[in-house]
Structure 1
Amino acid sequence: MEIIIVRHTTPNIEKGICYGQADIDVTSTFSEELQPILKELKSIDFDHIYASPLQRCKKLAEKISTNITFDNRLKELDFGDWELKKWDDIPAEEINPWMENFVEVPVTNGESYIDLNNRVVNFLQEIEKSNTKNIVIVTHAGVMRCIWAHYNTIPLDKTFELKLTYGQILKISTDKLND
Structure 2
Amino acid sequence: MEFFLIRHTAPAVVKGVCYGQTDVALAASAERDIQVALAPLPKFDRVYSSPAQRCLRLASALAQRDRSPLVLAPELQELNFGEWEQLPWAQIPREHSDPWAADTWNLAPPGGETEQALWTRVATWYRTASSTPASRCAVVAHGGSLRVLRCLILGRPVEDRWSWTLNWGEHARFEPV
- TM-score > 0.5, shorter chain as reference: yes
Q: 1:58 aligns with which of 56, 59, 62?
A: 56
Matching residue within 53, 72, 75 for 1:73: 75
Alignment correspondent of 2:141: 139
Structure 1 equivalent of residue 5 of structure 2: 5
Q: How does 1:1-179 map to 2 (within 5 A)?
A: 1-41=1-41, 44-66=42-64, 67-174=69-176, 177=177
User: Which amino acid is 1:68 matched to?
Assistant: L
| TM-score normalised per structure 1 | 0.91
**Aligned partners of 1:133, 1:152: CA distance in 2, in Å?**
17
Q: TM-score, normalised by structure 2?
A: 0.92
Per-residue CA distance 1:9-52 (angstroms, 9 max, x = gap)? 000010000011000010111122122221111xx232110101
Q: Secondary structure at the match of 2:39?
A: helix
* Separation in structure 2 between the aligned mates of residue 87 and residue 148 of structure 1, nearest angstrom: 27
5+ residue gaps, structure 1, are none
Distance 1:158 1:128 in 2: 21
Name whichever of 123-132 and 20-29 sits farther off: 123-132
TM superposition shift of 1:76: 0.5
Post-superposition Cα deviations, 1:97-118, rounded to whole Å, max 9, x if no partner, equal 1110111211211111110011
Q: CA RMSD in A?
A: 1.3
Aligned residues: 173
* 1:8–1:56 Cα contact (<8 Å) kept: yes
> How far apart in 2 are the matches of 1:151 and 1:117?
12
Contact 2:17 2:87 in 1 (8 A): yes
Note the alpha carbon deviations across 1:137-173, whole angstroms, 9 max, x for none.
1100001100111123333343222132100101111
- Report if aligned partners of 1:121, 1:150 keep a CA contact under 8 Å in 2: yes
* SS in structure 1 of the partner of residue 40 of structure 2: helix
Query: Which runs of 5 or more structure 2 residues have no equivalent in the other structure?
Result: none
Paired AA for residue 133 in structure 2: N
Task: Indicate if the aligned counterparts of 1:103 and 1:157 stay in contact, CA closer than 8 A.
Answer: no
Q: Distance in 2 between matches of 1:153 and 1:87?
A: 33
CA distance in 2, matches of 1:149, 1:129: 17
Q: 1:36-75 CA deviation, whole Å, 9 max, x = no partner?
A: 221111xx23211010111101111111114211111011
